[in-house]
Structure 1
Amino acid sequence: MIKKILSYFIPINIYRKNSEINKSLEVTWTNGQLVLDSKNTNYSYGSLQRILRKGLHYIGFERVRKFESILVLGVAGGSVIKTLVDEIKFKGEITGVELDPNVIEIANTYFGLNQIPNLKIINDDAFEFVLKTKEKYDLIIIDIFQDTKMPNFLFEDFFINRINFLLNVDGFILFNTMTLNKKDKERNASYRLRFNSDYSVRMYPKVEDHNELFTIKKLK
């Protein structure tokens, strides 16, 4: 409790671990809230939770609440999962896929994800998982970063087409991207053009300083 109070004045780090995948991982009390950060960016809670909450708000909390199955690619500390369960009151099945076992350990220990009954976390590469799964989903949330880098496969046709295949009709993709330079903005503009008239694509720029959100609805 003392650390939580002090964090309103100065961030209080309580856990730090080097990770082969994400380099540095830190759990810190900041403004009375536990957050998970990598070396250069917020990974969960803090600004990232605000970003993904806005994305879910754009889709509509009431609509999300009626979905049956949600896939989260890139769990980190699980802030978007906490928004789904605690705020939206989503009762359906949530599948979270996270590459870094250290992140899963932190998410369970400090953020209590292993106490959520309708959540299943799978330690796997997102690309490999979407190739293997036979399930289909009403909402697919893509939030994959390695520090400030986004893997190239997220923007390649094969991955995009596979995600589209796994999405139910009238379902949504919520894709969080980082735009640090002109090349990133051009990449996002190209990504938007990958979807034909079977999809309704909306882009929300400057959700935070360097984030652009996509919401993509599958129409048929």
Structure 2
Amino acid sequence: MLKRILSYLIPVILYKKKSKISKSIEITWNNGELVMDSENANYSYGSLQRILKLGLSSIGFEKIVKMEHVLVLGVAGGSVIKTLVGDIAYKGKITGVEIDPEIIKIANQYFNLKDISQLSIVIEDAFEFVLKTKDQYDLIIIDVFQDTKMPSFLYQSYFTDRICSLLNTKGFILFNTMLLDKKQNLLNETYISSFKKENFSIHSIPRVEKHNELIVIERMN
């Protein structure tokens, strides 16, 4: 409790570990919240949880509650999963894909991710998983980062075509992006302007928590 109170003055690091994939993973009390961070970015809880909750709200909690299967690409500490289960009371199946096994071990220890019975975790590269999965989903959440960097495959047309093909009718994709420079801004602008798919709509929620932009894709029918 004392560390939590002190965190309103300065961040209090509880745990820090090196990872081959994520380089550095920290568990920190920050402004009274237990968060997971990489070296330069918030990975779970804190601002990231607020960002993705806003995106889910834009889709509509009442729609999400009725969904049967949600895919989360990039689990980290599992904050968006906790939002789905805790805040939205989602009861359906959740498949979480995470490339870094160390992050899942830490998420289980500090955030009790293992206690969510409807959650199945797959340790695999998100791109490889998307290529192989035979399931269809009502909601696909893309939150794939390596510190502050997004893998280039996220913007490739082949990947976009594939995830769109995995959506059920009336399904949604919620894509979290980070805009730190003009190049990244242009990348998002090009991605949105060049998205031309029949029966799909796309829009963005710009400048969430200063550096993030959410892209929302909906399959109309």
Normalising by the smaller structure, the TM-score range is over 0.9
Partner of 1:176: 176
Partner of 1:122: 122
1:202 aligns with 2:206: no
Residues 22-78 of structure 1: CA deviation (Å, up to 9, x unaligned): 111100011221100001110000110010000000001111111110000000100
Partner of 2:214: 213
Which residue type is aligned with residue 165 of structure 1? S
How far off its partner does 1:169 sit? 1.0
How far off its partner does 1:197 sit? 3.5
CA distance in 2, matches of 1:47, 1:168: 30
CA distance in 2, matches of 1:191, 1:67: 27
Deviates more, 1:91-100 or 1:195-204: 195-204
Partner of 2:36: 36
Partner of 2:190: 190
CA distance in 2, matches of 1:4, 1:180: 30
* CA contact 1:93–1:118 (8 Å) conserved in 2: yes
Aligned counterparts, 1:26-175, within 5 A? 26-175=26-175
Which residue type is aligned with residue 4 of structure 1? R
How far off its partner does 1:194 sit? 2.2
Residues 75-127 of structure 1: CA deviation (Å, up to 9, x unaligned): 01000000000000000000000000111111100001000011011100000
CA distance in 1, matches of 2:208, 2:33: 21
CA distance in 2, matches of 1:22, 1:185: 24
- Root-mean-square deviation (CA, aligned residues, Å) is 0.8
Q: Report the 3-state secondary structure (helix = DSSP H, G, I; strand = E; otherwise coil) of the residue aligned with 1:150.
A: coil
* CA contact 2:195–2:202 (8 Å) conserved in 1: no
* CA contact 1:73–1:96 (8 Å) conserved in 2: yes
CA distance in 1, matches of 2:121, 2:53: 20
TM-score normalised by structure 2 residue count? 0.98
* CA contact 1:195–1:201 (8 Å) conserved in 2: no
CA distance in 1, matches of 2:198, 2:135: 24
Q: Report the 3-state secondary structure (helix = DSSP H, G, I; strand = E; otherwise coil) of the residue aligned with 1:26.
A: strand
Which residue type is aligned with residue 209 of structure 1? K
Runs of at least 5 residues in structure 2 that lack an aligned partner in the other structure? none
CA distance in 2, matches of 1:195, 1:33: 41
Runs of at least 5 residues in structure 1 that lack an aligned partner in the other structure? none
CA distance in 2, matches of 1:94, 1:122: 11
* CA contact 2:176–2:212 (8 Å) conserved in 1: yes
Q: Report the 3-state secondary structure (helix = DSSP H, G, I; strand = E; otherwise coil) of the residue aligned with 2:47.
A: helix
CA distance in 2, matches of 1:175, 1:157: 14
CA distance in 1, matches of 2:76, 2:18: 15
Q: Report the 3-state secondary structure (helix = DSSP H, G, I; strand = E; otherwise coil) of the residue aligned with 1:10.
A: coil
Q: Report the 3-state secondary structure (helix = DSSP H, G, I; strand = E; otherwise coil) of the residue aligned with 2:114.
A: helix
How far off its partner does 1:195 sit? 3.3
CA distance in 2, matches of 1:94, 1:195: 29
Q: Report the 3-state secondary structure (helix = DSSP H, G, I; strand = E; otherwise coil) of the residue aligned with 2:75.
A: coil
